[in-house]
Amino acid sequence: METTTTMLSADVLVVGFGKGGKTAAHALTDAGRRVILVEQSENMYGGTCPNVGCVPTKMLVHYSNARRPEDDAQGFFQHSVAGVRELTSAFRAGNFSSLDGKDTATVITGAAHFLDPHTVAVGEGTDRITVTAPTILINTGSEPVVPAIAGLAASPHLVSSTELTQTSNLPERLVVIGGGYLGLEFASIYRHFGTDVTVLEAADRLLPREDEDVAGAVTQILTGDGIRVITGAVVSEVRDTGAVSSVVYEKDGRTHTVEASALLPATGRRAVTSQLRLDAAGVKTAANGSIVVDEHLRTSRPHIFALGDVNGGPQFTYISLDDARIVLDQLLGEGTRTTTDRVAVPHTLFITPPLATVGLTETQARSKGLDFTVARENVADIVAMPRAHTVEETRGLMKFVVDARTDLILGAALLSIDAQEIINTVALAVRHGITATELRNSIYTHPSSTEALNEVFDKVLPR
């Protein structure tokens, strides 16, 4: 069969339909640039977040918490997944049409790889397309890593986080390897749906980067929900025994096993670069496969930028969005914005209730030799927060680390209903030098979770 090649050119080529890439593509087309965006899969228009990441997982959090004891677990789960599919399909279609519908933008679906520093080929063999552009943005994201555990990769019960957001069958027994953000979110979701869940964490406690009291409160909530949390557990082997897998792990010098009908490794993600043939473009990568960039997100080829998870930075959608701002400032603005401008970036672990953090922990502040105070109160004891009682979720705590000299907030850990929203107010305060006293004395709507700030800053712990 004769091979035909279609040759296209653009002002900007975007490889990957993630948050950063699509945001930049929209802004560039609005500025009059001719943009071609290449996405490997029609199921990933819009990137990880709306398809297999943030949107479906948080929707599953919502559905799982709505399940009543009398609801049939399998039927309720299937109904929930159908709702997720409907929403993600709508988002996917909207992402495609909103960009491809523009006069100066084209979306091409297919696997891309570099031919030279300015040219990318899409597809192989028959009907291959080549795209040439003076400016290229790489936004191919990241993918789950399967750790090198004997028998794991070949296990028929191995599932990825992507597969768990798409399956219609509720697993009877889920074993999660790794107690990080992703692992704990899925553990919480599936436990609330009715699955028997075990988390195997190699460290001696969950969330070792958080203060012990915060991590302990998280562990108490998870175990209180019926999740079996085993810390200090090093998985050594997976043995398949038909309907289930036996997960073998070592703890305290002894060998143990736990059965799993679904096995989720949640031990990290890696940049999707292996098929891009970056060597043909002269783009340097780190040992872990991520693309090396400077503070302006330029690669070793100054006309090629890398945005989002693929550049080895923090793996969050909102960081990818900020990456787009940096790149757009290079291409359309004054070129002064950099990654070093990021201050007080918040994070949220979407268990129930969520844990949201920003800035320094108490442990970090102490290790830096800072003079600080700690304000902390259990949610159940916060009189100024009736919302927690009205929605029947009083578990958790609020904790702030405050500079004793300046009254500025050094950090916060909020384990509470609406923590994912409150933390944005706190982060804004940190960035703009708003003191703890100002937050305490501010006027908030009632009943809201934010008004807890009126009280918690008075609960200073003795040093």
| Contact between residue 120 and residue 16 where contact means Cβ atoms under 8 Å apart | no
Where does the chain hold its CATH 3.30.390.30 domain(s)?
Answer: 347-456
Model confidence pLDDT, tens digit, residues 272-307: 999 999 999 999 999 999 999 999 999 999 999 999
Question: What is the value of pTM for the model shown?
Answer: 0.92
Domain with CATH 3.50.50.60 in the chain: 5-143+270-341, 161-267
Which CATH number is correct for 5-143+270-341, 3.50.50.60, 3.30.1490.100, 3.30.1540.10, 3.10.20.90? Answer: 3.50.50.60
Residues classed as catalytic: 446
Nearest CA among 252, 259, 236 for reference residue 175: 259
Q: Could you write out the DSSP letters of every residue in 61-122? A: HHHHHH--TTS-HHHHHHHHHHHHHHHHHHHHHHHHHHHHTSTTEEEEES-EEEEETTEEEE
Those residues of the chain that have pLDDT short of 50 are 1
Q: Of 16, 18, 19, 62, which Cα lies nearest the Cα of 40?
A: 16
Contact 16, 100 (CB under 8 A): no
pLDDT at 1 (0 to 100)? 44
Per-residue model confidence as pLDDT tens digits over 304-330: 999 999 999 988 899 999 999 999 999
Residue 413: Cβ within 10 Å count: 29
- Residue-level pLDDT at 194: 95
Query: What is residue 50's predicted lDDT score, i.e. its pLDDT?
Result: 67
In whole angstroms, give the CA distance from residue 190 to residue 351. 11
User: % helix / strand / coil in the chain, to the nearest 5?
Assistant: 35, 25, 40
Q: Cis bond leading into 353, ω under 30°?
A: yes
Q: What is the CB-side half-sphere exposure of residue 76 using CA atoms within 13 A?
A: 18
pLDDT score of 52: 62
Domain 161-267: which topology?
FAD/NAD(P)-binding domain (3.50.50)
Is the separation of the CB atoms in 140 and 272 below 8 Å?
A: yes
Q: What is the pLDDT of residue 91?
A: 85
- Coil, helix or strand at residue 47: coil
Q: Which residues of 87-119 are buried (b: 16+ CB within 10 A; e: fewer)?
A: ebeebbeebbeebeeeebbbbbbbebbbeeebb
CATH 3.40.50.2300 fits 347-456, yes or no: no
Residues 191, 189: Cα–Cα separation, whole Å: 6
**Does residue 435 contact residue 405 with C-beta atoms inside 8 Å?**
no
